[in-house]
């Protein structure tokens, strides 16, 4: 029988925003973690979370969270684990400061994603990249920064990873139909979203060009050797609350049949210890056969919003195959992904002194 | 001073449907044409148009139209000009029958689009293809069938034509974000459209693969020599009332700069007699500079819904360039396009005995 | 320790439709019931449920349900408990036939709601009305029909019941903003719902005029003495997937303060045995303080969609008070409500020979 | 033959906002007026209108307007006619300052609507109230302020005025389903509008309680004697771009039949000189018979968005009648209404030295 387990206290950075609220909601009842501290911008410091956060989740604000007092993001005594939902405009120096103060920071922001010593993690794909963080001791001492990819990059990488492992992926053409929640709060004005498509998402295309190569890359010595693939991306915003839909064409390193692609997706699994994490979906990539699958309203919440769905596989007259993939942008693509990464970090022993409940 | 002009009486076939209603609305006050007869399916025959049509246009149902009695689509005495808004499931034989009865039929349906002796017309692009119809005398005697492309094909072809003329277009990758009105009445259920993307539009991809090559082709002898281009298309439906948005990447026959592409679009004009038609937009393709252009709600109605807009021009890492194009699917892409084609047919003398008002 | 429990096998009537699918989803993992049979219209009979139902729920179709073969609604050997999601156009005789064959039928249809011997049940409000069904032995022998109110009537009655108990409700003015799911499948066309309000819901106003008086009425002898209240209702359809929002003004039998109204709502509880049912919400009516509460997207799913929320309480210049109430129309207002009623019927012994698991 | 006409130069105050842009669009090609100056907040002063305004209209930004340089709202030399689209938070003192500088200011803001010496004008209803402005000479010398009601008040007043004239209106219960454009720019976040109803519009209910009584009141001596009517209002925001839908119940001073109500609406006309104004609709109130009328998408643009539509007339069990009315909130309810009022002011000679073109 395992010894009594004390949940690890965690802090959420940027707790009042959209992704921050998702994290607070997901931490409620989490088997390993306990929300202990909430941090936000100076204007919020000193207020009760329950009074300051305009709660926009569909589950009630947990009483314990509501009673927490908002702290500055620049505390000197961070807890061992900090989940950061800060915007990329401010996250960089704040996260670095907390890492120097000894925290393990798991970040949704873009600020450190492409740093040479920072892993860009999708645990099922590249859990082993977490070892890259060891070299951060030069910058941060005992602290670490781990990052979560952009919400579109995660979905794309999850759909590509099984193909890349099996056949190699060399060329990717992707058009995104992104959800409104990705723009944060207040985000897109309703008058710009209703009966409309916004044909551009600022900064998003660059992320799609750069992040998948690092995610799908190989850990070699003290660095990541990026995957050799060329990506063309056009990003649009559509009138969908949650769930990014991506229309993808791929050129593979070696030919493969439709059945082989499906088998690659369906059989894709992360490392065994990742599959056992509390937030891990039982099957990371689901192939759906229906004429109208995948679609955001019906499929974004499968496996608690942590599974990526794929459908519409057909030959592409220009490359090898084309398909449509869907992922929940604020769960798998942000808060849920960060939580999964935090769980992996704990499971791999990056939080000294804390043993997860399954240890015995 | 020109002689008194008597408007040409026309019939609308499939007058109660979505495109049929658009045609009825556009004919109200048309300088050349007068709605004289309305035809619909057997269940409607004998009823007043004003009572049978569930009018869903934003302009009032014209009184003259409301007072017309619906006739069968299979009349033996069609008027000289028939505009067909029939669905592709039934249009084929009905349109052929009316052509054999001597009518000039301008059709929105897919049935005859790829027939060897039927021109697939976008007047600004390929007005000269209308001469192909001469060989229909073998099938139809004095009658003719002219066709309007699929709503997505029109927008794509309008955006490609200027590039094809100037540089050659060899490869095209397109993802469509199509409007709900394209599905007709009743079309997509609201519960399937709200907060959602439907990742597939039945039959649409095939049309995008085949129609542009014919539209952009060359009239040679008694046939069309199709343009040599390979197209990959993924079609989706989004929560937009009118206006198809297309994300396009192109591989050109010869390199061209962004400035050259813009100049090609901006300078594109149809033949002089097309530009003078009542429904022709002053500038067929508009390039819009804005960060968020083109978008359906703001730009679909430019030039009465007959102009196609282009924006977001950027280098494509896989082909030469990518851009976004938008066109109004029930105006330029259906009713307005058919009307423009009918005007061209009249201007080019395909309706014997009728002189358009500008003749003198 | 309680004896081993065998779940009660139940049939869902009209299993392929929108409410039928909700029932199938809710029965998956239900602690007392097990989906044993699915019944649908003649065109579906003999087909596998998994192949025939176009599954539109956000949870996966359970494998057990998918493997069931659809039966006729007119079987001679119904199981002891039948949950009916048939439309009101066909439900009446089918449900009566099944009751005559000995089944306890819990129905969402309007057909029998106002029958003198049929209770119209919202368990927390009028659980005792179930006794009215005893007199059905004249019509149905051992079979019974219990009915669920219209989806708008349930929400209105839940908001009124606490006020009616405490102060008497004499006059009610209600405007509904109803969700699209209430129109079933295919329901409202997307083009009619997008960027629009439909100012009329056929048949809905009559139900709102008649049903609440029966729901809030008193069981007296062998009949229900209806509550004496006058209702004016205007029903509209808005672009919302689930969740009916009602703007209500009430004239009370005796004056009451805002604090007293809130206390009435907050303190409202059903009978003790109702509160213990598996589908019962812990607090049937929640008063929400926020400026923008209640609203469908954030609050329809509270307590699994079984709680009704109220907010915006303010004095009404014409009657006493006005407020806004929200309820989930396909959970509390249909499938969830029917399940709760079925649970009540079992708890009260209407299904002979079946003991619920909490009995010991 | 009339003498050559020089259009009256006008300024638009708050020209970059939503209503300001509508005014700029409506002034393009206006037969009497010419947009001569544009004024906005200090941050915009000195910039070109075409560069500063984020143009969100569906017609192109007129070249003449684009070339204007934005001026301060606090100029000392305003033109004779100023159309104000300023927000109510800042409009009050700025408009008063311009009036003192001699301008005739027609305002959409709430700031001066209830001032004793300021008419609250809906020209068809109370054109004669314009005479009230004479007493402003005490405050403003030769300048004047005329006001336009709140967007919901206008629609409600237009629907009530014919009934009030014919039968007296004593009690009104109204629930509004308001469009998103009424919230300005950026207005409501898309995530709050999609698949949702917002059950409260700040400040709106008070306006509906107070403005109609003044609009429907009588000019007596140097003041308005308000109509004696009691209004209960609940205001909601729905996912509609333009067009406020109001569900109304009325208690009349004397009983009237449905036919009489329809006749009152249909026969309602403003004073003869109002009906001749360029922006006046031929019939101010249209009664629509359809089951689903009026509805925003189909009917908001009738008569250029200047007509108010009514439908769904039915007996109200609590008051006399109930009905649904719809009006375009940024045309009739804001920019178009202001323009009509400005036209009336010119026609009635409030702009000295300017003769309208129809004078001869």
| Chain C residue numbers touching B240 (CB-CB < 8 A) | 194
C82: helix, strand or coil: strand
**Looking at CA atoms only, how far is residue D304 from chain B in angstroms?**
10
**Looking at CA atoms only, how far is residue A53 from chain B in angstroms?**
25
pLDDT at C359 over 50: no
Alpha carbon of residue B275 to chain centroid: 16
**H/E element, A65:** helix A63-66
B75, with CB counted inside 10 A (0-12, 13-18, 19+), is middle
Beta-carbon contacts of residue A109 (< 8 Å; ≥ 6 apart): A84, A86, A87, A88, A91, A92, A95, A147
What whole-number distance in Å separates Cα of residue D50 and Cα of residue B289?
Answer: 13
Q: Where are the beta strands (DSSP E) in chain D?
A: 8-13, 33-40, 70-72, 81-84, 104-107, 144-147, 169-178, 218-220, 223-225, 230-237, 244-252, 285-287, 308-315, 321-327
pLDDT at A314 over 60: yes
**Looking at CA atoms only, how far is residue B293 from chain C in angstroms?**
21
Give the tens place of pLDDT for each residue, A73-118.
999 999 999 999 999 999 999 999 999 999 999 999 999 999 999 9
pLDDT at C353 over 90: no
Whether B147 contacts B118, CB under 8 Å = yes
Q: How confident is residue D355, by pLDDT bands cut at 50, 70 and 90? A: low
Pick the CATH number of C8-149+336-347 from 3.40.50.720, 3.20.20.70, 3.40.50.150, 1.10.287.610: 3.40.50.720
Active site residue D299: no
The number of residues in chain A equals 360
Rg for chain B, CA atoms, rounded: 20
Report the interhelical angle of C258-267 vs C151-167 (nearest 10°). Answer: 120
Interchain CB distance below 8 Å, C239 and D238: yes
Alpha helices in chain D (DSSP H): 18-27, 49-52, 63-66, 91-100, 123-126, 137-140, 151-167, 190-193, 204-215, 258-267, 272-275, 296-299, 336-347
Structure-token match 């229900």, residue found: C224
Predicted structure pTM score: 0.96
pLDDT at position D185: 87
Q: How confident is residue A354, by pLDDT bands cut at 50, 70 and 90? A: confident
Tell me what percent of the residues of chain A surpass a pLDDT of 90.
95
pLDDT at B305 over 90: yes
**Best interface-test mutation with A: which of C21, C51, C54, C60 has the largest number of A CBs within 10 A?**
C60
The DSSP code sequence of C313-337 is: EEE-SSSSEEEEEEE-TTIIIIIHH
B53: helix, strand or coil: coil
Q: How confident is residue D44, by pLDDT bands cut at 50, 70 and 90? A: very high
Give the tens place of pLDDT for each residue, C286-339.
999 999 999 999 999 999 999 999 999 999 999 999 999 999 999 999 999 999
pLDDT at position D358: 56
What whole-number distance in Å separates Cα of residue A304 and Cα of residue A340?
Answer: 12
**Best interface-test mutation with A: which of D19, D191, D201, D240 has the largest number of A CBs within 10 A?**
D191
* Mean pLDDT, chain B, whole residue set: 95
Sign of CA dihedral D227, D229, D232, D238: negative
**Superfamily classification of domain B151-328:** Dihydrodipicolinate Reductase; domain 2 (3.30.360.10)
Tell me what percent of the residues of chain B surpass a pLDDT of 90.
95
> Mean pLDDT across the stretch A269-274?
96
pLDDT at position C107: 98
Alpha helices in chain B (DSSP H): 18-27, 49-52, 63-66, 88-100, 123-126, 137-140, 151-167, 190-193, 204-215, 258-267, 272-275, 296-299, 336-347
* Mean pLDDT, chain D, whole residue set: 95
Whether A253 contacts A321, CB under 8 Å = no
pLDDT at position A185: 87
**Best interface-test mutation with B: which of C187, C188, C191, C195 has the largest number of B CBs within 10 A?**
C191
Chains in contact with A, where contact requires at least 3 CB pairs less than 8 Å apart: B, C, D
What whole-number distance in Å separates Cα of residue D335 and Cα of residue D331?
Answer: 5
Q: How confident is residue B4, by pLDDT bands cut at 50, 70 and 90? A: very low
Cis preceding linkage at C211, omega within 30: no
Give the tens place of pLDDT for each residue, A133-176.
999 999 999 999 999 999 999 999 999 999 999 999 999 999 99
What whole-number distance in Å separates Cα of residue A217 and Cα of residue A226?
Answer: 4
pLDDT at position C357: 59
Pick the CATH number of D8-150+336-347 from 3.40.50.970, 3.40.140.10, 3.30.1520.10, 3.40.50.720: 3.40.50.720
Give the tens place of pLDDT for each residue, D185-224.
899 999 999 999 999 999 999 999 999 999 999 999 899 9
Decide which of A358 and C2 is more confident. Answer: A358
Q: How confident is residue D360, by pLDDT bands cut at 50, 70 and 90? A: very low
What whole-number distance in Å separates Cα of residue C56 and Cα of residue A62?
Answer: 30
Interchain CB distance below 8 Å, A58 and C195: no
Structure-token match 């779940």, residue found: C7
Rg for chain C, CA atoms, rounded: 20
Whether A126 contacts A216, CB under 8 Å = yes
pLDDT at position C355: 63
pLDDT at A199 over 60: yes
pLDDT at A4 over 80: no
Nearest to B196 among A192, A196, A295 (CB): A295
Strands B8-13 and A321-327: unpaired
pLDDT at position C282: 97
Q: How confident is residue C3, by pLDDT bands cut at 50, 70 and 90? A: very low
Strands B321-327 and B308-315: antiparallel
Interchain CB distance below 8 Å, A239 and B195: yes
Interface of chain A toward chain B, CB-CB under 8 angstroms: 171, 173, 175, 177, 192, 194-200, 202, 205, 209, 230-232, 234, 236, 238-241, 245, 247, 249, 291-298, 311-312, 314, 316-319, 322, 324, 326
Nearest alpha carbon to residue D269 among D146, D127, D84? D127
> Mean pLDDT across the stretch C76-103?
97
Give the tens place of pLDDT for each residue, B238-294.
999 999 999 999 999 999 999 999 999 999 999 999 999 999 999 999 999 999 999
Give the tens place of pLDDT for each residue, C252-299.
999 999 999 999 999 999 999 999 999 999 999 999 999 999 999 999
Sign of CA dihedral D178, D184, D187, D191: positive
> Mean pLDDT across the stretch C14-38?
97
Interchain CB distance below 8 Å, D56 and B195: no
D139: helix, strand or coil: helix
pLDDT at position A352: 76
pLDDT at D294 over 80: yes
Beta-carbon contacts of residue C87 (< 8 Å; ≥ 6 apart): C14, C17, C109, C184
Q: How confident is residue D225, by pLDDT bands cut at 50, 70 and 90? A: very high
CA distances from C296 to A126, A187, C305 (A): 39, 20, 11
Whether A83 contacts A12, CB under 8 Å = yes
| Chain A residue numbers touching B239 (CB-CB < 8 A) | 195, 238-240
Active site residue D151: yes
Chains in contact with C, where contact requires at least 3 CB pairs less than 8 Å apart: A, B, D
What whole-number distance in Å separates Cα of residue B51 and Cα of residue B115?
Answer: 37
Alpha carbon of residue B273 to chain centroid: 18
pLDDT at position A3: 39
Interchain CB distance below 8 Å, C190 and B187: yes
Q: Where are the domains of chain B?
A: 8-149+336-347, 151-328
Whether C176 contacts C245, CB under 8 Å = yes
> Mean pLDDT across the stretch A22-34?
97
> Mean pLDDT across the stretch B309-323?
98
* Mean pLDDT, chain C, whole residue set: 95
> Mean pLDDT across the stretch C177-200?
96
Nearest alpha carbon to residue B236 among B183, B285, B177? B177
pLDDT at C354 over 80: no
């Amino acid at each position: 029988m395992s010894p009594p387990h004390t949940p690890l206290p965690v802090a959420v950075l940027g707790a009042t925003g959209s992704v921050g609220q998702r994290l607070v909601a997901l931490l409620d009842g989490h088997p390993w973690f306990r929300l202990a501290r909430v941090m936000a911008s100076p204007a919020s410091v000193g207020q009760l979370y329950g009074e300051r956060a305009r709660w926009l989740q569909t589950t009630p604000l947990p009483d314990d969270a509501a009673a927490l007092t908002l702290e500055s993001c620049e505390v000197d005594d961070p807890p061992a684990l900090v989940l950061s939902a800060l915007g990329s405009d401010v996250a960089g120096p704040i996260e670095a400061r907390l890492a120097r103060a000894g925290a393990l920071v798991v970040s949704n922001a873009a600020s450190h994603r492409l740093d040479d010593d920072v892993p860009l993690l999708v645990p099922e794909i590249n859990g082993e990249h977490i070892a890259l963080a060891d070299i951060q001791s030069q910058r941060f001492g005992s602290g670490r920064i781990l990052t979560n990819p952009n919400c579109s990059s995660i979905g794309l990488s999850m759909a590509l990873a099984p193909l890349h492992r099996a056949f190699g992926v060399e060329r990717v053409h992707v058009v995104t139909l992104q959800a409104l929640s990705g723009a944060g709060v207040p985000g897109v004005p309703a008058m710009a979203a209703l009966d409309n498509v916004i044909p551009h998402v600022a900064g998003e295309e660059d992320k799609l060009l750069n992040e998948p190569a690092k995610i799908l890359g190989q850990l070699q010595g003290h660095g990541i050797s990026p995957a050799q693939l060329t990506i063309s991306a056009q990003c649009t915003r559509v009138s969908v609350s949650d769930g990014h839909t991506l229309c993808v064409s791929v050129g593979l390193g070696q030919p493969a049949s439709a059945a082989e692609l499906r088998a690659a997706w369906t059989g894709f699994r992360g490392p065994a210890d990742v599959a056992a994490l509390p937030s891990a979906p039982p099957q990371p990539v689901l192939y759906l056969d229906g004429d109208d699958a995948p679609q955001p309203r019906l499929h974004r919440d499968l496996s608690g919003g942590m599974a990526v769905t794929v459908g519409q596989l057909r030959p592409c007259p220009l490359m090898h195959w084309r398909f449509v993939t869907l992922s929940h942008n604020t769960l798998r693509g942000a808060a849920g992904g960060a939580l999964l990464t935090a769980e992996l970090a704990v499971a791999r022993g990056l939080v000294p002194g804390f043993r997860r409940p399954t240890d015995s």
